[in-house]
């Protein structure tokens, strides 16, 4: 049955890890495991990640501090439903004068309420990925990288320009405040 459309059902990915742990390991050298759950929706998907740290997993507050200034990861305390998040963003877009254009979220949404440390060195996180819009910042960065010979814009400067041009700091603040 795998690979077939399942209306009104969920399917656990039997391949461990799903692509998120190896993707994470491309940028951060940590031991990580992930499992995907296939749910027939087109706007967002969720992943659970287990991250093994050499010197002990950070506490929830330390984890929040790690990502506090990262404009591409929002830390949402009570986030537990992709449909609720999408509806919230649509409503916030009406109130906040277009901060969420088209109701899109350009960042990974991490449920800090689900953050859990076990075996002292392993953290479990749940992350929502808005599959239609999360690629927007990375695509803009990729275009700048492809034109580096002309523009001479480095990685950090490019990311900062992208974040500011699509208002990611404001988007992150409004979204996180709405889940506080």
Q: What is the pTM of this model?
A: 0.77
- Report if residue 4 sits inside a domain: no
Cα-based angle 35, 79, 9 (whole degrees, multiple of 5): 50
Percent of the chain with pLDDT over 70: 91
Count of domains observed in the chain: 1
Question: 10: which residues sit within 8 A by CB, 6+ positions away?
Answer: 37, 38, 39
The parent domain of residue 110 ranges over 11-178
Residue with tokens 């059902």: 9
**Higher pLDDT pick, 103 / 39:** 103
- Residue 96: how many CA atoms within 13 Å on its side-chain side? 20
> Contact at 8 Å (CB) between 81 and 111?
no
pLDDT tens, residue by residue, 119-144 = 899 999 998 888 778 889 989 998 88
pLDDT of residue 1: 44
pLDDT at residue 7 is higher than 80: no
Mean pLDDT of the 92-105 span:
87
Output the domain CATH number for residue 104: 3.30.360
């Amino acid at each position: 049955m795998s690979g077939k459309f399942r209306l009104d059902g969920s399917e656990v990915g039997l391949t461990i890890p799903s692509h998120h742990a190896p993707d994470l390991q491309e940028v951060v050298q940590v031991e990580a495991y992930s499992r995907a759950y296939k749910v027939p929706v087109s706007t967002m998907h969720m992943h659970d990640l287990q991250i093994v740290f050499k010197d002990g997993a950070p506490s929830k507050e330390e984890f929040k501090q790690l990502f506090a200034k990262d404009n591409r990861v929002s830390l949402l305390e009570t986030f537990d439903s992709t449909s609720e998040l999408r509806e919230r963003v649509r409503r916030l877009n009406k109130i906040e004068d277009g901060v969420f254009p088209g109701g899109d979220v350009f960042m990974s949404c991490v449920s800090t309420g689900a953050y859990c440390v076990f075996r002292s060195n392993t953290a479990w996180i749940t992350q929502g990925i808005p599959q239609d819009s999360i690629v927007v910042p990375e695509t803009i960065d990729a275009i700048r990288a492809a034109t580096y010979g002309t523009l001479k814009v480095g990685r950090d400067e490019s990311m900062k320009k992208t974040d500011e041009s699509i208002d990611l700091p404001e988007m992150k603040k409004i979204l996180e405040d709405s889940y506080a």
